Amino acid sequence: MKKANAIRSEFIQFFVDRGHTFVRSSSLLPIGDPTLLFTNAGMNQFKDVFLGTGTRPYKRATNSQKVLRVSGKHNDLDEVGRDTYHHTFFEMLGNWSFGDYYKREAIQWAWELLTEVWGLPIDRLYATVHHTDDEAAALWRELTPLPAERIMRFGDKENFWEMGETGPCGPCSEIHYDLGPEACDKGHVPGHRCGVNGGCGRYVELWNLVFIQYNRKADGTLEELPAKHVDTGMGFERIVAILQGKKSNYDTDLFTPIIEEILTLTGAGLEREEERVAVRVVADHIRALTFAISDGVLPANEGRGYVLRRILRRAARFARNLGAKEPLLHRLVPVVVREMGEAYPEIKEQAEHCSRVILAEEEAFGRTLDKGLALFADLSRNLRAEGKKIIPGAEAFKLYDTYGFPLDLTELMAAEEGLVVERDEFNRLMEAQRARARAGSQFGGDETNVHWEIVSSGTHSQFVGYEQLQTTTELRMIGTDDEYFRLVFAVTPFYAAGGGQVGDTGLIRVEVTPGSFVEFPVVDTQREQDKIVHLVAKRADFPRRAVSYTLLVDEARRKMTAANHTATHLLQAALRRLLGAHVQQAGSLVAPDRLRFDFNHYQRVDEDQLRQVEREVNQQIFAALPVRAEETDYQTALNRGALAFFGEKYGDRVRTLAVGDYSFELCGGTHVRNTAEIMAFRIITEGSVATGVRRIEAVTGWGALQMAAEERELLKELSALLQTEPAQLTEKVRALLATEAKLKKDLDAIARKAALAEGEELFAAVQEIGGHYYLVAKMTTASMDLMRETVDRFKDKYRSGVILLGAAQDDKVNFVAGVTKDLTAKLQAGNLVKQVAAITGGGGGGRPELAQAGGKNVDKLDEALREGERLIRTGLEG
């Protein structure tokens, strides 16, 4: 049986032999494309070429692209695992032509690979073309032995590709494979007829050949493109299943090692369909998690991180269904790395980081899941007590959105309790969430409504800011919006924001007429596709025609920014030396007044480690290391040991930055020429940003010296205030803290004694109903601990009873309720405090036997306690 890794290699080598350049898969995190949550197609990294805003040094390309899809047709997350062929993460094999070969070669090579190299039976292959594409249909007849009835024409829905409402587009030709009559999964559907694009599992799409030959104009009409492109994509998992003779993608060697490990770790089997679904979910999702986290995506509460968290929690829940008592997913990462690390070395490099992030999330979700189960138990108990049998859709959605419970799990638990879920409201809330997620997901240009005007022709946006901070140039384009003129020049020394570094500011000096000048402040510099855009506030009209335009960067600001950028490189190198090679940049800000560096690490960097890092960076500054920049090709830079971070977008030509022999990275930012220019480095703060991501903020130069001066003044003030020398401050503060702790302990003992005495007095007011005792009272102490202790003493003294205590302090109200176990069928402490707290504008809850709550309206305390007594008496009398 041909192995998956061999199939991938054969595809790539086939096209390399035909003049294609192998291009590394881009990150799952789309760089420079805010319109996508995740990379969802092989063509994403070439989008700028198709749009005409970018170029490549090659005309032909091939690769296997990592793809993550969690929405859209057949990609709903909650459906993955329920069949044998849909996935969240998968690979897309592809080959591209950028204005080089076209339909003939694309069709000929696809057929050659499928039938001659891989030996697929011709009688199982079908080709589809757009109903207007006579050229493609004729080529299929000419180049292949396919009979006319297996070259089929379809409309726009099936065979026309568009990037958006406007822009590049064209017909496509698909190759389909007949899996045989037994693969049809719609035989029970009345009127179903098996066929290509018939909607059943028999005929599967293998390969889509897109021919980008038109431009869709704003009025909807099509015009021929001057250069025609080819964009193809073939699902790797699907072709592997076919070549390995498997009915299910999960039976291929892409998944079987993972599945075997799941079964070993859980002791589960594959006899029941519920087990098979759970195993498929976990196997699919651990691949998605491993690759996404390795590419820099981290679980979070919004955006990409929220999607990743949903995937992880769904996998963790299904792992529990398989019997996993402890976190399981992180133990599967080594299997994914072992099987796929050769093709994607970035997951090898990030394996430990990935495992740690997943483990932390699993542990957190375990606690969340337990809370969700407790919430469901309370919800079902309350509904039954009220004689209701329908779980509101909003409650089911809360379980889904907050606690990771998919609807089917909630419905299953509901059925066990004799309840049903109100689906319509749940679906409405789910669709609203999906609509929010889809916002901004369509490809388009800059969101700002900018009107562009071409002033002069010629090349533009040549950056010369590494060598000079002033230049005289020509204005090429001017854009206007509500706030700014957006200016594009032929040449510019202004650095456009990128790589974490802020954009330059400065001046544009316009010589309107000979000897007559007007100056315009540049407030920011940005990159918009291939343009370096200088933002000038619209205070006066900007001259379209002038004798000259002189661009002057704010030199002092640039120097401070450069110092912070070089210091960021030193910081990263120091962290990697001290903490380990897993440290990788997860985000940064390089500004003139400070730097911020986010990096992968699993625990707090303690004070001793921070001191070591700070000392290490300053040593490199004082060593006056030379800083050297050089441009080279990407692979040469990697071979020389340059640090490149997967998830960053690098071109074929890259800029390397060496700081002595201490740091060597790929970087396009601006830097000092010698580390001595940084002067000094001081860490301000270190903290957590997200699971597995830490943040260090620091200052350099005069900012570091100013920080030292402020600290010196602070020490002087504290010394004067505490009447001691700076060297004795620590000892003095320790003594004060010890005295404070002793006084607090004494006060707590007095308060506890008073509360116990007050409790004994309150017990004199205990009342009896039918052999049960109850007490409703207002205490003078508002300490929850002391109130709970009073409740415990009541329950020890009265073996069958209910107690409700309330107390007010400042602008806060506290309630504690206790119910002995024999009475929880009549009264529950959680429900009791929730109802009385609501009167005071608060809320709370807890267990049936013990609960607490808080409120805001102190004036309503007496009323709340009266209502509490009424509820208790009603419950005991009932």
CATH of residue 849's domain is: 3.10.310.40
Q: Tell me the pLDDT of the chain averaged across its residues.
A: 90
From 331, 349, 369, the end of a domain falls on 369
- Element containing residue 212 per DSSP (H, E): strand 203-216
CB neighbours of residue 479 within 10 Å:
19
Q: What is the pLDDT at residue 301?
A: 73
Q: Establish if 589 belongs to a structural domain.
A: yes
Q: What is the CATH number of the domain that holds 531?
A: 2.40.30.130
Q: Establish if 154 belongs to a structural domain.
A: yes
Is the pLDDT confidence value at 459 over 60? yes
- Is residue 872 a contact partner of residue 774, using CB atoms and an 8 Å limit? yes
pTM: 0.68
Residues forming beta bridges with residue 615, ordered by sequence position: none
From 553, 585, 603, the end of a domain falls on 553
Q: What is the pLDDT at residue 861?
A: 94
State the pLDDT confidence band at 447, using cuts at 50, 70 and 90.
very low
**74 shares its domain with 210:** yes
pLDDT digits (tens, 9 = 90+) for 69-114: 986 544 567 778 888 888 999 999 999 999 999 999 999 999 999 9
Least confident range from 534-538, 621-625, 636-640: namely: 636-640
Is the pLDDT confidence value at 441 over 60? no
From CA 336, how far away is CA 351, in angstroms rounded? 9
**31 shares its domain with 154:** yes
**Helix and strand counts by DSSP (H, E) for the chain:** 23, 34
Give the residue-averaged pLDDT of 412-425: 85
**547 shares its domain with 568:** no
State the pLDDT confidence band at 440, using cuts at 50, 70 and 90.
very low
Residues with Cβ within 8 Å of residue 186, at least 6 apart in sequence: 192, 194, 198, 199, 200, 201
Give the number of residues written for the chain: 878
Is the pLDDT confidence value at 877 over 90? no
**31 shares its domain with 145:** yes
Q: Establish if 142 belongs to a structural domain.
A: yes
Q: Establish if 396 belongs to a structural domain.
A: no
Least confident range from 24-38, 116-130, 213-227, 731-745: namely: 24-38
- Is residue 660 a contact partner of residue 684, using CB atoms and an 8 Å limit? no
Phi, psi angle pair for 809, to nearest 5°? -150, 125
Is the pLDDT confidence value at 392 over 50? yes
Give the residue-averaged pLDDT of 240-249: 95
Name residue, tokens 């993955």: 80
User: What torsion do the CA atoms of 708, 712, 713, 717 make, to the nearest 10 degrees?
Assistant: 150
State the pLDDT confidence band at 458, using cuts at 50, 70 and 90.
confident
Q: Which amino acid is at 410?
A: T
Residues with Cβ within 8 Å of residue 216, at least 6 apart in sequence: 162, 165, 166, 167, 168, 169, 222
| Residues of each annotated binding site | 565, 569, 667, 671
Share of the chain above pLDDT 90, in %: 61
Nearest to 718 by CA among 703, 706, 729, 734: 729
**530 shares its domain with 594:** no
Report the number of distinct structural domains present in the chain: 5
**623 shares its domain with 484:** no
Highest-pLDDT range among 192-201, 336-345, 438-447:
336-345
Give the residue-averaged pLDDT of 801-806: 95
| Residues of each annotated binding site for Zn(2+) | 565, 569, 667, 671
From CA 758, how far away is CA 764, in angstroms rounded? 10
**680 shares its domain with 578:** yes
Give the residue-averaged pLDDT of 35-50: 85
Residue 761 C-beta-side C-alpha neighbours within 13 Å: 10
Q: Establish if 418 belongs to a structural domain.
A: no
User: What torsion do the CA atoms of 351, 352, 355, 356 make, to the nearest 10 degrees?
Assistant: -150
From 711, 727, 743, the end of a domain falls on 711
Residue 174 C-beta-side C-alpha neighbours within 13 Å: 22
Q: Establish if 391 belongs to a structural domain.
A: no
Q: Establish if 423 belongs to a structural domain.
A: no
pLDDT digits (tens, 9 = 90+) for 727-774: 888 898 999 999 999 998 888 888 778 777 777 788 888 999 989 999
Is the pLDDT confidence value at 649 over 90? no
From CA 280, how far away is CA 255, in angstroms rounded? 9
pLDDT digits (tens, 9 = 90+) for 134-177: 999 999 999 999 999 999 999 999 999 987 777 889 999 999 99
**176 shares its domain with 244:** yes
Q: What is the pLDDT at residue 215?
A: 86
Is the pLDDT confidence value at 35 over 80? no
Share of the chain residues as helix, strand and coil, in percent rounded to the nearest 5: 45, 25, 30
From CA 434, how far away is CA 431, in angstroms rounded? 5
Is the pLDDT confidence value at 438 over 60? no
Q: What is the CATH number of the domain that holds 136?
A: 3.30.930.10
Least confident range from 34-38, 159-163, 355-359, 577-581: namely: 34-38
Give the residue-averaged pLDDT of 682-703: 92
3-class DSSP state of 677: helix
Q: Establish if 734 belongs to a structural domain.
A: no
Higher per-residue pLDDT: 402 or 605: 605
**859 shares its domain with 799:** yes
For 420, the token pair is: 């049903």
Is the pLDDT confidence value at 274 over 70? yes
Q: What is the pLDDT at residue 444?
A: 38
- Is residue 279 a contact partner of residue 285, using CB atoms and an 8 Å limit? no
Q: What is the pLDDT at residue 445?
A: 40
CB neighbours of residue 469 within 10 Å:
19
- Is residue 525 a contact partner of residue 496, using CB atoms and an 8 Å limit? yes
Helix axes 729-763, 784-797, angle to 10 degrees: 40
**93 shares its domain with 233:** yes
Least confident range from 351-355, 367-371, 610-614, 791-795: namely: 367-371
State the pLDDT confidence band at 446, using cuts at 50, 70 and 90.
very low
**215 shares its domain with 333:** no
**47 shares its domain with 74:** yes
- Is residue 490 a contact partner of residue 459, using CB atoms and an 8 Å limit? yes
- Write out the residue range of the structural domain in which residue 305 sits: 255-369
Q: What is the pLDDT at residue 74?
A: 46
Give the residue-averaged pLDDT of 291-313: 87
Least confident range from 41-50, 341-350, 646-655: namely: 646-655
Q: What is the pLDDT at residue 634?
A: 80
Measure the N-to-C terminal CA separation of the chain; round to a whole number of Å.
73
